[in-house]
Amino acid sequence: MITIKSRREFDRMQVAGACVAEIHRTVRDAAVPGATLLELDALARKVLENRNCTPSFLGYHGFPAVLCLSVNDVVVHGIPDDYRLRSGDILAVDAGAIYEGFHGDAAFTMGIGEITPEARNLIDVTKRAMWAGIRLTQPGVRLGDIGATIEGIGLEAGYGVVRDYVGHGIGRQMHEEPQVPNYGTFGKGMKLRKGMAICIEPQFTAGGEETSVDADGWTVRTADGSLAAHWEHTLALTSDGTMVFTEGEEPLAVDLVDWSTIE
């Protein structure tokens, strides 16, 4: 079911989104060579507590942590453990928060210490693809337009565009209708409308698009062992225009984005 959110509901999602943004800033600063994934998870937990939010992921179908931390060939859903980050790693940080029953959900990928130019490019292109999808998001646009745009950027760069995991609607549930694929056909798919909120979350790999899941039932890896990057934001189609809820302390109006800093 697609839910149409009221202004009051969007206000709650914005508080959850600002919490996610603070988690991102906190983890970005702390993710240095030698830090463990469990330490990062504990920092996220503190931010949630300070902001009277609860974690979206902890306990979700039994997920055991606050963050999904996905290192190198892990695409998504990595479980924080005592792994110590090393210079040259790439780390995807996915965080979700609930405020008064409403979710925010966002991810970024960063390099730890010195990373290769190839890894840097994978991270940057995946981020650019997310923002290209965000730029299109407004009432009347079709999901196929967003998916095809994201897919085109990945394929043009020679990357695998993961199809096994997709973006989603968000609100009272972390995962609502519609699915928001990172692939598609221009002019096809559902039209977005005012009151919807979606997460756009491309996952690109330096190799093929195929993935496999570890025996823990969560950790999703590239089937060929290549590096993967993941970026995600929560977006709301409000009566004041499209807003990114998970970028900072305040909603970011997509109309006001300086695209020269992103593309």
State the residues that interact with Mg ion by CB under 5 A: 105, 199
Q: What is the dihedral of CA 155, 158, 161, 162, to 10 degrees?
A: 170
Shortest Å distance, C-beta 106 to Mg ion: 8
How far is residue 234's CA from residue 17's CA, in Å, rounded to a whole number?
Answer: 7
- Between 112 and 180, name the residue whose CB sits nearer to Mg ion: 180
- 10 Å CB burial of residue 216 (0-12, 13-18, 19+) is exposed
Query: Residue 178, preceding bond cis, omega within 30 degrees?
Result: yes
- Between 78 and 186, name the residue whose CB sits nearer to Mg ion: 78
- Between 144 and 169, name the residue whose CB sits nearer to Mg ion: 169
Shortest Å distance, C-beta 153 to Mg ion: 19
Q: Which tokens in the block code for residue 181?
A: 């694929």
How far is residue 151's CA from residue 161's CA, in Å, rounded to a whole number?
Answer: 6
Shortest Å distance, C-beta 168 to Mg ion: 6
Which are the contacts of 240, defined by CB distance < 8 A and separation ≥ 6?
253
Q: Rounded to an integer, what is the distance from CA 161 to the centroid of its chain?
A: 15
DSSP 222-234: ETT---EEE-BEE
- Between 123 and 198, name the residue whose CB sits nearer to Mg ion: 198
Shortest Å distance, C-beta 232 to Mg ion: 5
Shortest Å distance, C-beta 45 to Mg ion: 19
Shortest Å distance, C-beta 230 to Mg ion: 9
Q: Rounded to an integer, what is the distance from CA 239 to the centroid of its chain?
A: 24
> Which secondary structure element, helix H or strand E, spans residue 71, and what is its range?
strand 67-71
Shortest Å distance, C-beta 92 to Mg ion: 12
- Between 113 and 154, name the residue whose CB sits nearer to Mg ion: 154
Strands (E), 87-165: 90-99, 102-111, 160-161
- Between 23 and 199, name the residue whose CB sits nearer to Mg ion: 199
- Between 121 and 173, name the residue whose CB sits nearer to Mg ion: 173
